[in-house]
């Protein structure tokens, strides 16, 4: 597992603009080290990047353990690309699957 600061880019496979498969009005944007989900930038301190059973996994974390629960509930905290190429984002309250924005007419 690799720990990287916020300024380090997320994996190339996750870069770009993504649309929620169940709600085409919702998007996830990954640009370098920044993550914006549902119109809100994720204010994280560092990320953990790992490969698990062929899946590329990124966990967004904060240094302030006292506010960890609040952070986990208010932000997307996990990004996963499965071995099949599906992109998922989730936290303790929700999970969504995303497709590249250019795969949706009128959105790319």
Mean pLDDT of all residues belonging to the chain: 93
Q: How far apart are CA 58 and CA 68, in angstroms?
A: 16
pTM of this structure: 0.91
47, pLDDT greater than 50: yes
Distances in Å between the Cα of 90 and the Cα atoms of 54, 84, 105, 108 are: 18, 18, 25, 23
pLDDT band at 108 (very low <50, low <70, confident <90, very high): very low
What is the reported pLDDT for 105?
66
Q: What is the mean pLDDT of residues 6-27?
A: 95
Instruction: Give the model's pLDDT for residue 102.
Output: 87
pLDDT at 52: 92
- H helical segments located in the chain: 68-74
Q: Mean pLDDT throughout 13-37?
A: 96
Of 2, 71, 4, 64, nearest in space to 32 by CA = 4
């Amino acid at each position: 597992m690799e720990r990287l600061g916020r300024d380090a880019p997320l994996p190339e496979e996750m870069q770009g603009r993504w649309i929620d498969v169940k709600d085409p009005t919702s998007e996830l944007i990954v640009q370098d080290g920044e993550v914006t989900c549902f119109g809100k930038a994720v204010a994280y301190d560092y990320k953990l990047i790992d490969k698990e059973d062929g899946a590329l996994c990124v966990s967004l974390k904060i240094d302030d353990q006292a506010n960890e629960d609040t952070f986990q509930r208010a932000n997307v905290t996990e990004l996963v690309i499965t071995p099949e190429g599906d992109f998922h984002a989730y936290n303790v309250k929700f999970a969504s699957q995303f497709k590249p924005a250019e795969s949706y007419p009128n959105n790319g």
